[in-house]
Every structure is written in structure tokens, then in C-alpha cells.
Structure 1
Amino acid sequence: MTHTPFPPSVASGAVSSRLQADAPAESFRPVLLDPASVDGRAALKLLLDSPALVEVHDRIEDQLRELVWCLNPGESFSPAGQKRAEDEARSGVLPDEYGTWAWYPWSGRLVRVLPEAEFRLVRTDRNRDKITRQEQQHLLTRRIGVIGLSVGSSAALTCAMEGVGGSFRLADFDRLSLSNLNRLRAGVHELGLEKTVICARRMYELDPYLDISVHRQGVSEESIEEFFAPAEGGEHGLDLLVEECDTPWVKAAAREHARRRRVPVLMDANDRGLLDVERFDLEPDRPLFHGRAGAVTADDVRAMDSAEQMRLLLQIVDQDRLSPAMTDALTRIGTSLSSWPQLASGVMLGGALVTDTARRILLGHLVPSGRSYIDLEALIPATKAHAR
């Protein structure tokens, strides 16, 4: 396998200035350093002498050994044969110059990993052959947009973990609060931090080679076109949208843009395992929300008062099919409940449902539009115990 060259932006002299420019409290993107380049070595020296450095984590030899195993699963090497195989895998690159150093400014960690292609081959090797290598490579060329980062955060993280998508756009205007910690993968040290930043950091810690942009103010009339549009100099925009926000206008406007651009939309409602699939890529005239809200438009929603918007949301999720707990909660929000209930188990299930469906759609499987329920209480029934 050939050594993966660094993109110019990584190998340029701008690296050292980026080391200084990104404030840890605001940063979400690691800085990638090439130890084979003059600039990369200079930046590494700066970091190693910096008080910002908390930990150096270098397990490149273990990763290289695992790379050889992944490339040769049927081989049993002698120690000398193993060394030859590792030298061959490095493609002539000197040991000290091999791989990538990823600097995570928010944690102060400097981590050495395999070059991009080799890193991803090893990291996703246990997907095979539920996902073949050819399929994995295709998936990593896809761009996924995620609006709303409760269920959306779980979906984005699970997609990144499974290698479903190599480029992501994350949108949410909210910051982490204490009551979010019942369902979001975050820590108390991150209270007050933007949800987009928290999610992007988790994803980059799984794969430093991802391409992630964040929309810290969420999606608005001013930004929605940019959210869907091709990146500067790119050939295409979003390949799939995961919509998990609470704002009715955004729900409608996002689908209008997705339909116009022929982008499929997935939504998990975090109640009874409800998953919506809207294949606007195959059905560009399909009504929004499966027609459950009639011919409503984003402009219509903007003109609604809060009571009308709530009725719209209940139409969209089909109020008659909500779980008993959610139905009861709707009558008590604002009196004995601060908001609607969301459980971590439901959020994680939603992330799994979205990722599995997204993978199949992006691989060209004919997943139809429609609504499905993966209701665990129905699938695994039990008699409710009396409180002790």
C-alpha cells in the first residue's frame, strides 16, 4: 500500500500559526501534522515545548502491526517476516516520518495515527463484510447533513463510527445544559459549550481525517442555502439529510430544500422507534412529511402561532400513535413537566436506525419512503411492575 500524501493545507507553513490561532475553548477541528515535512517537524517541536501539551500518545507500531494483519489475514509471520511486512507497508517512509500527528487543542493531546487510507482500512476492518472495502470507500466519499443534535448527535457519531460518510455538516444553535446530560454523550466539563462543537470533537476523536463543518447558529433563512450547497470548489452538496430539530419552520424549510435538490431525508422521533424516510432523490414531487400536514409550506409555518405549530408537529408525528408516556407528557408540559421526555436509550436507538438506513440509501439500496416503528416495548413486551 502506498503512503498517503498530505493535502497542501496540512503540509503548509500555516500549520504553526494555526497551532496558536485556535483557542481550545472554541476549537473543534484537529491540526494534522506531517512528520515527513519541514513544516510538520517544526510544528511538532513547537508543540513538544508548549505548556498546552498535556499528553503525547504514540502507538504507531501497534497500528502498523494491525495494518499488516488486516492486509494479510491468512498469514502467520515469523518475527523477521513481520518486520519485512511492516517495512513494506510503510512504502519506504522512515519510521520517524511515518503517519500523521493529530493535535487536539481542546484536550491538549498529540496523537500519532496511520496515514489516512491505512488508518481507515484498519479502523473499519471489523465492518467487513457487512460492509465491503469497496462499499466503505464509497461511503467515505458521501456528505451528510445533520440538523438538531440530540438524536442527531447520536446519528452523527454512529455514522462516523461506522464509516458512513466522510464529510458532515452539523447544525444546532443550542449549548449544552445540565438537563441534556440524560441523553447526550458529553461531560459536566462541557456545560455551556455549543452542541455542534461537542459533537464535532467526538467525531474527530474517532477519525481525525473527517471533514466537518459546523453551523453554530443552526439553520435559518440566511444560512439554509449554504447548508445544502456544494462546498467551495466542490462538485456536490449534501448526499443525505438527517433532520432532528424541534423548530417547525426548519423542518418544513429543510425538506423543501432537500426536495428541490433531490436529497433523501431521515428523521427519528425518539418515541416508539419512529423512523421516517423521505426519498426526495427518487420522488422529487413527494409531499412533505408523507402528506400528513397537507400541502403546508415553510412560509405557511412561519405565519403560524405557537398553538398552530404544536398542532402541526402532532400531525407530523401522528398523535394517535404516540406512546402512552408521551401522550400523557403532552398534557403536562409547562405545568408539571418542563419539556417533552427524551431517554438516552431512545436517542441511541434513533442513532442506530438512522445510520443503518443511511448506509443502505447511500449504497444505492432501494429503501422506500415511508414510516416505520421499531417499538422495543412492543417487540420485547413485559408486564409493568408495581413500584416498590
Structure 2
Amino acid sequence: MYDTIEDQLDELIRSEDPAVSHTADTLAASRRRICGETAMWRWGTWVFYPWSGRLVHVLPREEFQRVRTDRNRNKIDRAQQRALRARRVGVIGLSVGSSAAVTLAMEGVGGSFRLADFDTVGLSNLNRLRAGVADLGVSKAVLAARQMFEIDPYLDIEVFTDGLTEESIESFFGGTGTTLDLLVEECDTVWAKVVAREYARRRGIPVLMDTNDRGLLDVERFDLEPHRPLFHGRTGESTASDVATMDRGEQLSYLMTVVDEPRLSPAMRDAVGEIGRTLSSWPQLASGVMLGGALVADTARRILLGELIPSGRSYIDLDELIPAVGPQLDAELALVMEAVR
């Protein structure tokens, strides 16, 4: 059992009037004023997390949100924070997408989420996925939802553990009054990539995609351009039905067209020909995944707050922004420099 409600109340009191210098006595008086006749242990919400067996005492919803996002101000003001909390965000693919989903939850960008991934956490995912060995075998979508609930127990999260399928796609995108406001697409399945965009375009939902190479971020503003071609027109008029019949080689070629193979990083270009031979899958680094989560969350927040961010492709390439000034130091010189230090 975890009960820090007194400390949380003190944070609430200080956040409401930061100019006041409180003493232990004034804080105690303010706590009594807020709780009224209710005993402190009864005030607020007790949240039980069945996967960890933890019972946690937190502030009521509105007070919790004010304190939890207090350090967002004035980068995000309180009116904007309330507006963001009313938004629905969908995330397809919770390997790379988990970084985006958790960052969105941390920043308070979205109050309702739909998470779709058919896969479970494997040992090889731990090079980039925020998880531990005790999480092996857990659904990636479930794991992301758990992490988000532990940040904010008041979130509304729906999990699709079969991924995006023909049977679940209508529920995932939602109907009248429950339609997604923004989609983050981070899956590897070609059919899901295409059909998700077809649905998003039909319903006027903006789509964001980070590719975990050279900081590439795609923005497709189907909310502003209802007839915009998918993937910025790179794949022509091909549909989800077309890609569903492609063999593995054709699907790989399709993906290379989407990401613009000549503009991949040298390491990724070299890796493409080795997949299925010397490499089991795409190389992905934790640093790239975390960067992608930041790019998606920042762009999502700005779009949901009404900024006119256009469709297009951007690169936040750290090799270009922070370039090396020469070749790598050889091992002997590196040892000498270390000794000098």
C-alpha cells in the first residue's frame, strides 16, 4: 500500500499559490480546509494495480491533473491542458510506438487512448523497449497501457491485443462521437499501414509516423486534405487490397518506397539486404526510439492544439546536427587521451 496523499495535498496547495511561503502549520490548516469533514485516508482515490499488487492513494481527478501537469506551465497552459485531455489518440504498433504513447501520457496529450499490437515482448525487444525481463511474454499493447496507467490512473485506455484487423478496425477508429482525433502509426505490417491511412483519410484524422532512422517524421494532415494521397503519393494508387496479396519481397520493396531507400542512413541501407540472411529484422536503437517518441508527442500536441503544421516529411538527423569532425580515434590514441585526463 502506498499512501502519500498528505505530500500530494501539499503539492496542490503550493501549486495554487506559489508566491506564499508555507509553514508546517499553514499546510496542515490548508489540508484540513480541502478535505473538510472527510478523513484524509477516505479523501481522493485509491487505485489498485493488479499486475503489481500495489494499492496507491492519489488526489481526485481534477486535483491530480492540476498537480501532475503543473510543471508543464507555461509551455502548456491550463486551458490547453484541459483541451488536450479531451482528445482521443490511437497508436498502432507498440514497440517503437510505446515510446510515443508513454510520452503522450506523461505530457498529458490525450485523455483517451486506443493501443493496437498483436505481438508480445521478446528478449530482443529489450534493446529499445522500456521493459524488463519480468515483462517477457506480455502483450506490448498491455505493457504500454500499464505504464500509462501508472503515470495517470484516470486515463481511458482501450487495448487491441490482436493488432489492427478487419474485425477490429471499426472499433479502433471509433464511431460518431468517439472517433480518434489523431493516429500514430508505428507498425511493421504493410496491410495495416495502408488500411489505417485509408480509414484515417476517410474520417479526416491526421497521421504521424516516425521511422526510427535519421529522425524521420511523417505528417499526413488528412483532417485538412481529405483527398491527399497516402504516404505523400510515394506509393501511387495502391490500396490495402493490393498490398494484401504481395509476397514478402514485394512488401519489402513497398516499404523501401515508403521510407525512400536512397535517403536511409548508410547503416540502415546496408542492413536492408541482410534481413533474413545475417539479420533477423530491422536494426533499431533505443536512442532512435526515444527521439521518435519525442518528435511524435511534440508534433501531436501542436496539431491537437490547432497549430497549422503542414503535411510532409522532416528529418531530425543527429549525425547531421551533431557531426563528427574527423575519423574515429584509433585505440592507442584514445588510451593516451584517457591517461592525460
TM-score after normalising by structure 2:
0.94
2:245 to 303, 308, 314: 303
Residue equivalent to 1:259: 201
How far residue 94 of structure 1 moved from its aligned partner, in angstroms, is: 2.9
Are 1:220 and 2:165 matched, yes or no? yes
Query: Are 1:235 and 2:180 an aligned pair?
Result: no
Aligned residues: 330
CA distance in 1, matches of 2:33, 2:330: 64
Q: CA deviation at 1:301?
A: 0.9
Distance 1:267 1:149 in 2: 12
Residues 344, 384 of structure 1: CA spacing in aligned structure 2 closer, same or farther, 3 A cutoff? farther
Aligned counterpart for 1:375 among listed residues 317, 329, 337 = 317
Q: CA deviation digits over 1:138-192, x for unaligned, max 9? A: 1011110000012200000000000001111000000110000000011101111
Could you say which residue in structure 1 is the equivalent of 2:227? 285
Deviation beyond 6 Å, 4+ runs, structure 1? none
Match of 1:194 in 2: 139
Whichever residue aligns with residue 256 of structure 2, its letter is: L
Tell me, in whole angstroms, the C-alpha distance in 1 between the residues paired with 2:126 and 2:107. 24
TM-score, normalization by structure 1: 0.83
Match of 1:70 in 2: 15
Quickly say closer, same or farther: Cα 1:69–1:305, change in 2 above 3 A. Answer: same
Residue by residue over 1:37-91, the C-alpha shift from the partner in whole angstroms, topping out at 9 and shown as x without a partner, is xxxxxxxxxxxxxxxxxxx110000000000001111112344332232223335
1:315 corresponds, among 236, 239, 257, to 257
Report SS of the residue matched to 2:41: helix
Partner amino acid, structure 2, of 1:225: E
State the shift of 1:335 in Å.
1.4
- Which residue identity is paired with 1:295? E
Deviations 1:323-369 (A, max 9, x none): 00000001111111111100000000000000000000000010110
Instruction: Give the Å deviation of 1:221.
Output: 1.3
Kept in 2, the 8 Å contact 1:249–1:301? The answer is: yes
State which drifts further: 189-198 or 350-359. Answer: 189-198
Judge conservation of contact 1:68–1:89 (CA < 8 Å) in 2.
no
The aligned residue for residue 211 of structure 1 is 156
Which residue is 1:176 aligned to? 121
Residue 155 of structure 1: aligned partner: 100
Residue aligned with 1:97, SS: coil
The verdict on how the C-alpha distance between 1:117 and 1:323 changes in structure 2, with shifts beyond 3 A counting, is same
* 2:64 matches 1:122: no
Structure-1 separation of matches of 2:198 and 2:129: 29
Q: 1:167 aligns with which of 107, 112, 115?
A: 112
Query: RMSD over aligned Cα, in angstroms?
Result: 1.2
1:145 counterpart (70, 74, 90)? 90
Larger deviation, residues 96-105 vs 85-94: 85-94
1:82 alignment counterpart:
27
Label 1:384 to 1:120 Cα distance change in 2 as closer, same or farther (>3 A): farther
- Aligned counterparts of 1:113 and 1:346: Cα–Cα separation in 2: 34
| CA gap 1:91/1:368 in 2 versus in 1, 3 angstroms | farther
**Residue of structure 1 equivalent to 2:335:** none
Amino acid at match of 1:241: L
Q: Which residue of the partner structure matches residue 9 of structure 1?
A: none
Give 1:100's aligned residue. Answer: 45
| SS of residue matched to 1:300 | helix
Q: CA separation in 1, counterparts of 2:193 and 2:36?
A: 49
Q: Which residue of 1 aligns with 2:336?
A: none
Report the residue type matching 1:181 in the other structure: L
Name the CA distance, whole Å, in 2 between partners of 1:186 and 1:78: 41
378-387 vs 237-246, greater mean Cα deviation: 378-387
Separation of aligned partners in 1, 2:263 and 2:9: 52
Letter matched to residue 201 of structure 1: R
CA distance in 2, matches of 1:347, 1:379: 17
1:279-325 per-position Cα deviation (integer Å, ceiling 9, x unaligned): 00010010000001111111111122222111111110000100000
- AA of the residue aligned to 2:174: A
Q: Give the whole-Å Cα distance in 2 for the aligned partners of 1:91 and 1:324.
A: 64
Are residues 82 and 281 of structure 1, via their aligned partners in 2, closer, same or farther at CA, if it must alter by over 3 Å?
same
| 1:95 counterpart SS class | coil
SS at match of 1:328: helix
